[in-house]
Amino acid sequence: MIVIGAGETFAGILSGFLLSRFKDTHVFFLAAAINGTFMTLFYYMPEGFPQYVCLFLAVSGIAAKFNTVYVLAELRIPPENIGAALVMMNTIAIICSAVSPFLS
Overall pTM > 0.85? no
* Residue 54 in domain: yes
Q: Where are the alpha helices (DSSP H) in 45-81?
A: 49-76
Q: What integer pLDDT is reported at residue 29 of this predicted model? A: 92
Write out pLDDT tens, residues 32-49. Answer: 998 899 988 988 988 889
Give the domain extent around 11.
2-77
State how many domains the chain has: 1
Q: What integer pLDDT is reported at residue 33 of this predicted model? A: 93
**Rounded (10°) CA dihedral 5, 97, 43, 39:** -60
Q: What integer pLDDT is reported at residue 1 of this predicted model? A: 67
Write out pLDDT tens, residues 74-87. Answer: 888 888 888 888 88
* Residue 82 in domain: no
